[in-house]
Structure 1
Amino acid sequence: MTTVSRPRLLLAGAAALALAVTGCGAKTKDEAATAAGTSTAAGGSDVLTIPYLADMSVPDPDVFYDIEGNSVILNTYQGLVKYAPDSTTIVGALAQSFTESKDRLTYTFKLKPGVTFHSGAKMTSADVKASFERRLKVNQAPAYMLANVKTMSTPDPLTFVVKLKSPVDPFMAYMASSWGPKVIGPAALKTHAGSDFGQKWMRTHEDGTGPFELTSFQRGRQYTLTRYPGYYGAKPFFREVDIKITPDIGTQRLELQNGDLDAVLHSFPASELASLPSSLQIKRENSFLRLLMYVNTNKAPFNDPAVRRGLRSALDIDQLVTQAYSDTATKSVGPYPTALLSGQPALPYKPDPAAAKAAASKASTKSIVMAYTADESGVQRRVSETLQAQLTQAGYKVTLKEVQLPQTYAYIKDLKHAPDLLLATNTPDAAHPDTWARILFQSKGGLNFLGYSNPALDKALDDALPATPAQADADYRKVGQQIIGSDSLFFLGDVKDVFVLKKGLTGVSHVPAYPWTVDYADLKR
């Protein structure tokens, strides 16, 4: 199975803003506003103003693999299927129906008629096939979702057929993922394809089928989404969505309270939620975001399994979740997000100071470094300080170190000099246990930052991929139990998506598998 590397901006603010400003599209925000005679300030009846903490990488769905930027991708492009709101149920998007063969090798998608791209071209199955082929040619991180495809065919303009080399239990979950294959129009695939499959043009442009067009992309400043008049679905309430790059949560908070923004969709300080003015509302939504503590098993003291096991007894997870997250997170109960796998093994974490001290006394060194990834609302810092106090009580001398997200991807190259413990928040690619276990537990998984390696576990994951759903679930439970028993990764909290919005906004549509994201087409003022 292809190794997945995923430099997601889970903790926004890590990326520096580019100095150059680049526009895109034939219409600018100001031109559109002037033509409509409508104010673009927050509070305007049909203009929505939303902040990002950092730039998205690129608005190219075959390259994009962050979280900041999901709302741009999901509101301009569409895949064949998607998840229903507040659910893990897969429903049609551009496909009005889909079937799976008995041997689980052939998937047939019947497309919706009358769909057009933002360039005006009519969508057919040939465009779907060309889009899937482009993903494989571009071969960036999300390409792994199509790695097992054997053939693709287009029996008629509204039928698309995919045949796999072997069964892939999470295949439809890949299709529904926010990072899953999207259908791209001829403006990118033909008119501006060039020698790089249109990648240069798609750094600042798009040609999707979604309810909004990307009409301006000013890196470091603002992106503008404009309602697409040819959209086949219900007409969105908002004519325009202005996404402002505001790399400071304090500034975002003040602008929201002053009426210059309509919503803050992530990183709002949990400690301040209880004191919000009556003009604002809070939406707490289930998500698959999880707070994790990685353990470096490649050097002392935690290369000793008995010393690692003592960490279980040192942790008071109820305390750290309550202190750091208030009511915006709950204690994890298993190795997978709960909605991804039923009957998964329970986490054996229970504070026992005496047992924690006994295990720590056997450690070859008691001086350890705990790194935590920087985030704008300070949650990771508060968690690390609570853990520092708990581990100090057990007998360790803990040095805390704030790091930027890109640093965590480099640890695998020099594990002997990597931190002993690492706090980070991550999310699966889709609502399927494989999309969590493969990137996090596998020896070469893209989110296995501190290099835990277990060949037997790797084999179990590969065995689960073609298995029947029932057998696959049993395999994933065994894998989860192996990870728990290894004490190489501790599952601390299940983090909610918290949206703070103006009181007049309604129609908040959210999917747990699409973090930090609402459907702009469903919002109304």
Structure 2
Amino acid sequence: MLRGKLATVAWYLAAGFLAIALTSQSAFSEETLRVPYLVDIASFDPDNGFEIGSMSAINNVYEGLVQYKPETVEIVGRLAKAWEISDDGRRYVFHLVDGVRFHDGSTLSAADVAMSFKRRRDGGLALSYFLENVDNIEAVDGLTLKIDLKRPQPSFLDSLASPWGPKVISSKALSEHDIGDKAAGWLNEHANGTGPYVLTEFQRGDRYVLKRNEFYWGRKPFFSEVQLPVIPDISQQLLQLQAGDIDLVPTGYPFSQLRGIPTSFRIFSAPSVTLYTLFTKAGSPLDDPEIREAVLTAINPNDWATDAFGEYAAVAKSIYPRVVLNPERAIVFPTDVERAKEIIARRGPSTLTIALHSASPAYQRVAGLLIAQLASIGVEATAYPLPQGAAFNLKNAASKPDFLLTIAGPDAAHPENQAKAFYTEEAPLNFFGRSTEAADHLFEEAGRAIDIQNRNKLYEKAGQIIFEAGIAIPLVEVNDVVVHVEGLQDLGLRPVYPPGNIDFGSIHR
């Protein structure tokens, strides 16, 4: 009898412990969001790192004056609740939200914003170019900031709203940790902003942890903790998603597998500036208009975009993503395949080389389709991935490929950000250093235009010149696609952000 009573007690105790364990596991899954990163964070400094995969973390720890509204390119306030622009377009006055606190407990003032913006402008940092047109930055009073530009810049608010735009860092942190480096050393692995999350764990190459800012001035985030493990193998991410160890795969889920995902998962797709583009070197066979016609006929994306990306892509209409500029007249690829074959048989070339910006599966998939298309008209093409960072040095490389396949997406939603990033003579991402005087003049005129309709016509005309000269060939625009567990809502994706950068402050169950 005693043995039976002990067994019964043991059973109830075991059941109780099991219930506690299940409750803890449930609480963990409800209160913690687990988001893998494919690429490690190089620097958490919001002024000194062109991070791609980790912008979601940086932009939930730090905030700027304005931001893009989720899933749009509409500019709305963040730390600035209102602003005025002078009639000549050179003076911007921002009125700050009252009662905002930094993670160190200090209260935000216009002086903090001025100090952060001056660090960005004057520090010789990776992202200083965002404020190169800023002449004066002044805290008028505790909650009013005045910025004077050297010349009118209609794209200025877009630059402030960019995911890489200037953020506000605690003045106390900047002063305490400045050892002659503008606090860059400390900010590589530490943070002190005003955002809805606080950086609490930085384990380079392994994982990062954000904790909810309980004193956040805005809407309180749903998740108390965000765990960011570094999982550089997409196949491992897929396995961990299926095992329940992570809550979503933010980017890189193979498009070919999207139709067969488990029924417990969901797909969230939104517009993006992911624009696959071929840049061509000077002196390639494509400088000849007739050969260019034949090659364009072969690589016409209307013939392969669906094979590569299914329903999540659209054939490009111009050198700009649609959310930046939707042209009145789309670029046109020739379609006479027999004429293309005749041109190649008569004039060549027999081979072409395609360099890929990286070895990512998406680049390789597109390259494979392009190779097959070119083979159909008698051109043998080869493709190879470039080492990390090598695409940015092609301009001065001793040996250049005929094409570079890359994603040509701007860092903000104004056409100027696209043009001056990729296509003007001095553009930092003008991979082969090619431009035309006619397009450059149009870009300059458009950059000063206030009337949006007139502005877009000028940018569209310049884009047509770039395409018709064979400098760049836009191919397909691909949506942002996130695969996640059932129940997650309001991912807060923004078209201009790099793919997969969800908003931890808005997402919830």
TM > 0.5: yes
| Counterpart pick for 2:115 among 124, 127, 130 | 130
Q: 2 CA distance for matches of 1:68 and 1:494?
A: 19
Q: Which amino acid counterpart does residue 343 of structure 1 have in structure 2?
A: P
Q: Which amino acid counterpart does residue 115 of structure 1 have in structure 2?
A: V
Which residue does the alignment assign to 2:374? 391
Q: Deviations over 1:490-520 (max 9, x none)?
A: 1111111101111022222221112321111
Q: Deviations over 1:11-43 (max 9, x none)?
A: xxxxxxxxxxxxxxxxxxxxxxxxxxx969996
Shift of 1:336: 1.2
Which consecutive unaligned segments of at least 5 residues does structure 2 have?
1-22
Shift of 1:453: 2.4
The 5-angstrom pairing of residues 263-274 of structure 1 reads: 263-274=248-259
Matched, 1:83 2:65: no
Cα contact 1:46–1:237 (8 A) shared by 2: yes
| Counterpart pick for 1:485 among 448, 468, 477 | 468
Shift of 1:148: 1.0
Which residue does the alignment assign to 1:441? 423
Q: 1:342 to 1:53 in 2, by over 3 A?
A: closer
Q: 2 CA distance for matches of 1:477 and 1:344?
A: 8
Cα contact 2:43–2:51 (8 A) shared by 1: no
| Counterpart pick for 1:374 among 330, 342, 358 | 358
Q: 2 CA distance for matches of 1:475 and 1:347?
A: 15
The 5-angstrom pairing of residues 248-327 of structure 1 reads: 248-296=233-281, 298-327=282-311
Where 1:145 maps in the other structure, the secondary structure is helix
The 5-angstrom pairing of residues 111-510 of structure 1 reads: 111-296=96-281, 298-361=282-345, 363=347, 365-376=349-360, 378-414=361-397, 417-470=399-452, 471-510=454-493
Q: 1:163 to 1:134 in 2, by over 3 A?
A: same
Q: Which amino acid counterpart does residue 483 of structure 2 have in structure 1?
A: V
Q: 1:276 to 1:420 in 2, by over 3 A?
A: same
Identity %: 35
Which residue does the alignment assign to 2:17? none
Which residue does the alignment assign to 2:9? none
Which residue does the alignment assign to 1:17? none
Q: 1 CA distance for matches of 2:449 and 2:248?
A: 43
Q: 2 CA distance for matches of 1:379 and 1:220?
A: 24
Q: 2 CA distance for matches of 1:126 and 1:391?
A: 58
The 5-angstrom pairing of residues 47-58 of structure 1 reads: 47-58=32-43
Where 2:130 maps in the other structure, the secondary structure is helix
Q: 1 CA distance for matches of 2:27 and 2:460?
A: 48
Cα contact 1:185–1:208 (8 A) shared by 2: yes
Q: Deviations over 1:67-121 (max 9, x none)?
A: 1111011100100000111111110000010111111111110000000111111
Cα contact 1:293–1:492 (8 A) shared by 2: yes
Q: 1 CA distance for matches of 2:369 and 2:190?
A: 45
Shift of 1:384: 1.0
Q: Deviations over 1:267-287 (max 9, x none)?
A: 100111111112211101111
**Bigger shift: residues 216-225 or 392-401:** 392-401
Where 2:59 maps in the other structure, the secondary structure is helix
Which residue does the alignment assign to 1:22? none
Q: 1:40 to 1:62 in 2, by over 3 A?
A: farther
Q: 1:382 to 1:490 in 2, by over 3 A?
A: same
Q: 2 CA distance for matches of 1:455 and 1:43?
A: 59
Where 1:437 maps in the other structure, the secondary structure is helix
Q: 2 CA distance for matches of 1:119 and 1:358?
A: 70
Q: Deviations over 1:161-182 (max 9, x none)?
A: 1111110110110011001111
Q: 2 CA distance for matches of 1:122 and 1:520?
A: 23
Cα contact 1:211–1:227 (8 A) shared by 2: yes
Q: Which amino acid counterpart does residue 195 of structure 1 have in structure 2?
A: G
Q: Which amino acid counterpart does residue 207 of structure 2 have in structure 1?
A: Q
Q: 1 CA distance for matches of 2:49 and 2:121?
A: 14
Which residue does the alignment assign to 2:20? none
Cα contact 1:42–1:49 (8 A) shared by 2: no
Cα contact 1:41–1:47 (8 A) shared by 2: no
Where 1:465 maps in the other structure, the secondary structure is helix
Q: Deviations over 1:363-394 (max 9, x none)?
A: 46422211223344x12112111111111222
Q: 1:183 to 1:362 in 2, by over 3 A?
A: farther
Q: 2 CA distance for matches of 1:388 and 1:174?
A: 38
| Structure index of larger Rg | 2
Which consecutive unaligned segments of at least 5 residues does structure 1 have?
1-37
Which residue does the alignment assign to 2:15? none
Q: Deviations over 1:211-232 (max 9, x none)?
A: 0011111110001111111111
Q: 1:259 to 1:361 in 2, by over 3 A?
A: same
Which residue does the alignment assign to 2:8? none
Where 2:352 maps in the other structure, the secondary structure is strand
How big is the alpha-carbon RMSD for the aligned residues of Structure 1 and Structure 2?
2.0
**Bigger shift: residues 360-369 or 107-116:** 360-369
Q: 2 CA distance for matches of 1:154 and 1:487?
A: 48
